[in-house]
Amino acid sequence: MTETMKQAPTPSFLEYQGRFKGIFAWIFSTDHKRIGLLYLYSMLVFFSIAATLGLMMKLELIAPGRTIMGAQTYNSFFTLHGITMIFLIVVPGLPAVFGNFFLPIMIGAKDVAFPKLNLFSWWIYIAGAFIALSSQFLGDGAPDTGWTFYAPYSFRTGTNMLPAVTGAFVLGFSSIVTGLNFIVTIHRLRAPGMKWMKMPLFPWALYGTAWIQVLATPIVGITLLMVVLERTLQIGFFDPSLGGDPILYQHLFWIYSHPAVYIMILPAMGVISEIIPTFARKTIFGYTAIVVSTLAIAFVGYFVWGHHMFTSGMSGVALYTFSILTFLVAIPSAIKIFNWVATLHKASIDLQTPFLWAFCFLFVFMIGGLSGMVLGALSANVHLHDTAFVVAHFHYIVFGGTGFAFFGALHYWFPKMFGRMYDKSWANIGLAIFFTGFNTLYLPMFYLGITGMPRRYYDYVERFHGPNIVSSMGAMLMITGLIIVITNLVRSARHGAKAEKDPWKGKTLEWTVDSPPSLENFEEIPIVTQDPYDYE
């Protein structure tokens, strides 16, 4: 850092004037914090679209038969809902927004290792998103295959598949580049004194996630490329009428898409590991156990993809191997839950909004994880596979787990990101409505699945009517809560009261810098001597 910069009061990264003005100061910025916010704003837009689609699907299902849309529309809605939520929001979500913003600050660095590559990854993300969304408007109608693009239906449908698949392919690169950037950043840019076992748990979670992103994403890239080649050149990888094997497609798809679940959930666990000690005023219980379980999940998570295919007709050996491994991957998650709860023991708990989000996370994530135990058992899986039970299960994990953690992170780091505080009572009211709506929406779907309602059903027999009404009501309530939560945050980003440096009395490095941070985060690179959650 030069002498001149030291003298002037450093402007925050939000005010800093670089080479470009207006919107270009953002979309061409290589500052990790601005890139994090670019991702946040893009995701807010995509999330609004996908959540609206989800709400319309629930409204359609409030009664059997046609309610507000036709079957073709419904089928393309759940396809777009899935593609957007998975590829544009939940997979990149926490790493791209909060990882970009806070990873460098939490390990005492001025930026990620490759800032230009970081900006490039946002551009790839936007390009992929536009290609994927263009499928809705170009060609022969919106894709209707579901987000899994299962062969051979994805070759038989007359709809506009190629842009959707190409978009997902392009988005994969954004994920790989971000992962690579984080790995190098964590290896090379930790502040002096920050040994591996002194690193906060959110960076640890990002580290585990980044390895999955780098190693697993290329598989789905190749697979989607094979789909494109098959559709254009009629090669015959997956389509039985060309001599291909549809089950091969399922294997390749889930070899990525199961580890992808851990790309979604590991950073969420990292966020919870930050929030709980801060509001418990207490060091985290079992730091080492949490680190080891993070790496164990990242590793074992590669070997359980077959549990998505228990009814596809795999061999007996494959079935029980995948079933056992599926049960084993639950253990590290259980260990984390026990450690978080143990952290609350003899703590001094400050019941602020971020803590309440984390608390609700624990509850819904447990329901998600524990319902996964039912699906991991072969005999129960035969009955419940591809029913509403599975839909409820993965929404409890992906929306309940990652979604609650995302909003928890947003409420936790909001004062640092924008330098302002939100209205706490509105935030809590929003959370209460959202939480109630969430459970009213998804709990009945467990019951529907148990009584036999298949998923991806536009229409259903009369005996499924009651629980569907409850579920649709829950959807409306949940969206109401969501609107309150988001409106409160958007308003407060401009009009909220000014926030202090350390409003929550946190101990990790991001609470030692200004709110909002200056362009280079630290005047001087800090020297770390303490454990990350040292409340002695």
Partner 1 sequence: MFSKGVADASNFVKGVDTSFMIIFGIISFFLIGITATMIYFVFRYRKSKHPKAEQIHGNVVLEIVWTLIPTALVMVMFYFGWMGYKPMKEVPDDAFVIKSIARMWHWQFQYENGKVTDTLYVPKDRDVKLDLVALDVIHSLYIPAFRLKQDIVPGKDQFMWFKAGREGDFDLFCTEYCGLSHSSMATSVVVMDSDKFDKWYVDTTVVASIITDKPGALGLRIVQMNGCLACHSLDGSKIVGPTWKGLFGSEETVLTNGVERKVVVDSAYVMNSIYNPNDDVVKGFKKGLMLSYKNELKEEDIKEIIEFMKTLK
Q: Is 327 exposed, middle or buried (0-12, 13-18, 19+ CB in 10 A)?
A: middle
Contact 510, 416 (CB under 8 A): yes
Site for partner 1 in 227-246 (CB under 8 A): 240-241, 245-246
**Is residue 413 close enough to count as binding partner 1 by CB under 8 A?**
no
Element (H, E) at 96: none
Q: Of 25, 366, 493, 525, which lies in the binding site for partner 1, with binding defined by CB under 8 A? A: 366
Minimum distance of partner 1 from residue 168's CB (angstroms):
18
The answer to whether 143 touches 153, Cβ cutoff 8 Å, is no
What is the C-alpha separation between 228 and 252, in angstroms, rounded? 15
Is 472 in contact with 67 (CB distance < 8 Å)? no
Number of residues that bind partner 1 (CB under 8 A): 88
Q: How far is the CB of 59 from partner 1 (least distance, A)?
A: 16
Structure token digits, residue 361? 């996370």
Closer of 419 and 506 to partner 1 (Cβ): 506
- Paired tokens of 99: 């990882």
The CA radius of gyration of the chain, in Å to the nearest whole number, is 23
Q: Smallest distance, Å, CB 186 to partner 1?
A: 23
How many angstroms separate the first and last alpha carbons of the chain? 33
* Residue range at the interface with partner 1 (CB under 8 A); choices 48-56, 355-363, 398-406, 466-474: 355-363
Nearer to partner 1, 299 or 363 (CB): 363
Give 125 or 457: the residue with its C-beta nearer to partner 1.
457
Question: Residue 30 or residue 157: which is nearer to partner 1 going by CB?
Answer: 157
Cα–chain-centroid distance for residue 356?
Answer: 19
Three-state DSSP at 421 gives strand
Residue span binding partner 1 (CB under 8 A) among the ranges 10-18, 368-376, 430-438, 482-490? 368-376
From CA 216, how far away is CA 93, in angstroms rounded? 17
Residues 447-506 interacting with partner 1 (rule: CB under 8 A)? 450-452, 454-461, 463
Q: Does 344 bind partner 1 (CB under 8 A)?
A: yes
Among 27, 49, 300, 349, binds partner 1 (CB under 8 A): 349
Q: Closer CB to partner 1, residue 48 or residue 72?
A: 72
377 near partner 1, rule: CB under 8 A: yes
Sites for partner 1 among residues 24-83 (CB under 8 A) = 71-72, 75
Residue 283 beta carbon to partner 1: minimum distance, rounded to whole angstroms: 5
- The answer to the question of residue 116 lying near partner 1 (CB under 8 A) is no
CA distance linking residue 368 with residue 210, whole number of Å: 23
Span interacting with partner 1, options 3-11, 40-48, 187-195, 307-315, rule CB under 8 A:
307-315
Contact flags string 187-216 toward partner 1, x per CB under 8 A: ------------------------------
Cβ neighbours of residue 424 closer than 8 Å, sequence gap 6 or more? 352, 353
SS3 460: coil
Cβ(32)–Cβ(178) below 8 Å: no
Q: Least separation, in Å, of the C-beta of 482 and partner 1?
A: 24
- 380 touching partner 1, by CB under 8 A: yes
Token pair recorded at residue 92: 């990149």
> Does 350 sit near partner 1 (CB under 8 A)?
yes
Of 117, 225, 342, 483, the residue at the interface with partner 1 (CB under 8 A) is 342
Verify binding: residue 303, partner 1, rule CB under 8 A.
no
- Measured from the Cβ of residue 413, the count of other Cβ atoms closer than 10 Å reads 26
Give the list of residues 6+ apart from residue 471 with CB closer than 8 angstroms, or none: 58, 61, 440, 441, 442, 444, 445, 448
Least CB distance to partner 1 at residue 319 (A): 7
Inter-residue contact 306 to 314 (CB < 8 Å): yes
Q: Which of 25, 289, 300, 429 binds partner 1 (CB under 8 A)?
A: 289
Query: Coil, strand, or helix at residue 497?
Result: strand
Residue 286 interacting with partner 1 (CB under 8 A): yes
Q: In terms of CB distance, is 222 or 347 closer to partner 1?
A: 347
The residues in 242-271 that bind partner 1, with binding defined as CB under 8 A, are: 245-247
Q: Which residues of 502-512 are buried (b: 16+ CB within 10 A; e: fewer)?
A: bebebbbbbbe
- Report helix, strand or coil for 498: strand
Smallest gap from Cβ 455 to partner 1, in A, equals 7
Q: Which of residues 137-156 bind partner 1 (CB under 8 A)?
A: 140, 144-146, 150, 152-153, 156
Least Å distance, CB 203 to partner 1, is: 19
Q: Is 288 in the site for partner 1 (CB under 8 A)?
A: yes
Q: Which is nearer to partner 1, 516 or 532 (CB)?
A: 532
Interior/surface letters 489-498, b for 16+ CB within 10 angstroms, e for the rest = beebbeebee
Residue 236 Cβ, how far from partner 1 at the closest point, in Å? 12
Residue showing tokens 């015959």: 236
Contact with partner 1 (CB under 8 A): which of 17, 22, 195, 313?
A: 313
Measured distance CA(521)–CA(176) in Å, rounded: 26
Of 347, 432, 443, 493, the one binding partner 1 by CB under 8 A: 347
Task: Report the SS3 class of residue 169.
Answer: helix
**Residues with Cβ within 8 Å of residue 64, at least 6 apart in sequence:** 459, 460, 461, 462, 464, 465
- Asked if 535 interacts with partner 1 (CB under 8 A), we say yes
Q: 277 or 496, CB closer to partner 1? A: 277
331 binds partner 1 (CB under 8 A): yes
Closer residue to partner 1 in complex, CB, 18/286: 286
Does residue 141 contact residue 72 with C-beta atoms inside 8 Å? yes
